[in-house]
Amino acid sequence: MPVRRSKDSKGPYYRWGDSGKKYHYEPGNAKSREQARSKAEKQGRAARAAGYEG
């Protein structure tokens, strides 16, 4: 599953797949955005390491 970028009522976020945790970031802040994306990617790696094959 890819890391997806979207936004909700709390603001923009990255999320791994369709049901992963949302990692919000501050709009216009490149460092905040990269940290959120990195956390979402890490979640994906952890899911695969735990046996997720989807």
pLDDT band at 38 (very low <50, low <70, confident <90, very high): very high
Tokens encoding 3: 């890391």
Q: Is residue 17 part of a domain?
A: yes
pLDDT band at 43 (very low <50, low <70, confident <90, very high): very high
* Total structural domains within the chain: 1
Q: Is residue 12 part of a domain?
A: yes
Range of the domain at 7: 3-49
Give me the pLDDT at residue 47, please: 93
C-alpha to C-alpha distance for 17 and 40, rounded to whole angstroms: 9
With tokens 């990617």, the residue in question is 41
Q: Is residue 31 part of a domain?
A: yes
Phi and psi at residue 19, to the nearest 5°: -130, 10
Contact 43, 37 (CB under 8 A): no
Q: Is residue 54 part of a domain?
A: no
Q: Rounded to two decimals, what is the model's pTM?
A: 0.90
Q: Is residue 37 part of a domain?
A: yes
